[in-house]
Structure 1
Amino acid sequence: MSAPIGAVHLGKGRVVVAGLDVPAKGLRVRVFDAGRPAPLDAAADPMLFAGELTWSSDAEVSGYAAPSGSSGAVFVWSGSAGGKRVRRAVRLDAAAAPSGAPFEVMSATCASADGMHWSDGRAITGRAWSGAPLTPHTLAEEKEASIFCSTRAAFALVDDEDGVSVMRLDGDAGAPVPLWRDAELAKDELRERGEFVVDQDFGLVRLGASGALVLREVRAGALGPLRRLSTTLSKDEEIVAVDAAASHVVLVARTDVSARCPPGDAGRSSAKLRVVRVDRASFEERTFDVAPTECGAELGPFFTGVTRAGVSVAWAERG
């Protein structure tokens, strides 16, 4: 087994790993159970797409587990298969055995309680964890969608000529909810934005050209107020991550400060990270630095996750 490798957690200490077996030209699957040694007999490992896959530097393996783990998981191969570029998926049952025929997915994919969702920007479709198709959605030509999932809900963020809206994709789907019309914020051109999903809520942080931050959420289907934060970002700061927990929203901004390095370090990169934390009940804001400025240290990519304590932020650092 070699890179690319993907993994999913099925609960109760069970982790399923899938990685490319170059000689077999397929994905080898292995189950690791907490408290039990992994089997050493490679011949016992299930093989996905045997004889079809070819290694490339941009190939990827992605894993998506059903929230409870009881409905198994799906692994997606993004890369070369049979001489063509594909995004091919296969479902594993709760015992991590292949279940059903492989199927194709689109470039944007996420998973929630009802199944997997994917989109090419206009067409949105998916499959339930049982393998049944989910309700498809096709957008008008002038609209484009991005999809986002939590363990309990799936959303499509829809951009059109007038603004941006959000719609549920799962069983509680309703009409799209406008987050804002472009005319509301026309005086401050969009610079960046970051999305987050918490349980069954969706939120969006907008950074304008002026550095102003705007936050808006849809909670349990109800649109909240447009909140203009008191914190602003400088023209040199860029948003690298946005995430949220039940109690707060976290935005991570990076500033390139290489120019501050000593003359002898010319050309060496340096960055500063700042976190903006917004309480979701009181909307109180806090900001603090999370990484020391060090010449020659390149920061990124960035990762976020939600723990019992709230949102955690991690990143790679290369010197």
Structure 2
Amino acid sequence: MELRHLRYFVAVAEERHFGRAAERLHMAQPPLSTQIRQLEAELGFPLFARTTRRVELTDGGRAYLEHAHAILNAVEVAGRQSRRVAEGLEGRLTVGCVGSATYDLMPRFTRALRTAQPDVEVTIQGEMLVVDQVDALRSGDLDIALLRPPVHEPALTMRPLRSDRLVAAVPDSHPLAARPSIDVRALEREPLVVHSSRGSVMHRLVLDLCESAGFTPLVSHEVVETSTLVSFVAAGLGIAVVPEGVSKLGVPGVRYCALKGATVELCAATRTHETRPLVARALEILVEVLPEPAVETPSSERPEDTDRDGTGRLFWGGERGHIDARSASC
């Protein structure tokens, strides 16, 4: 039995006439009659009571008609839904995000996804370390990861999104809080609250930033989550270096001062062989919601030896202390 047999049967049952059913199906009547007889033979009972003037459903035929309608409707729904999935309009999408983008880019991205693809089930995992994001991408637990480079993983494709300005999160009672921008050397004798050394690009970046400016940072606390880091700053436990998007947290008691000439990259990572339209459309939406680039600090305000090599690594000072970590939390 094939689906066409069910369609033939439904047409005859609804038309109650083989000739009209054949016209509706755009076929000749004799082949239609033959197909119905073959269906009845396979089922083992008559579907129609035939006379010279009319065709009526038998009791078995009426029962079979209900099931035939249900089967054909289910097939139509399955095709329609599967087509939407194939076009990226339905399905499941899981996105992982580093701490800073969790509070900045992720809300806009999620709202845009829900508006453009309301039938896509979106799951967000925020405040993820990059080592965890990479593992989750490889295992299939994540579809897209918003992370800080560099990431050395051939199985993943990195798409640069933007360059985030670095700022110093300062307690609002601190003397530096009144300054709109500062040089990194202003942090030389300040206690710093930093991200955990376990797999954090921001941890390595802050250390290299300070060392390249000629001093060893005074680390007072290490924390895992960005929200905790900013809360420690509000409590007066130290100063933190974070991407500018962290200011979206809006924690009372914290001011943000731009660090002259210091930036860090944000990228979207996917599996290299990812081909699903759902993921491709999500990446398009992600680019659409990116904010306008921040106005860069004038070159006259930057240290002369600031440099960048295009890999997401930041250099500061005459001796290049570069960031070459494989993971990040912020």
For the superposition of Structure 1 and Structure 2, which TM-score range results when normalised by the shorter chain?
under 0.3
* Bigger relative contact order (CA 8 A; separation at least 6): 2
* TM-score normalized by the length of structure 2: 0.21
Structure showing greater radius of gyration is 2
Which structure has greater helix proportion? 2
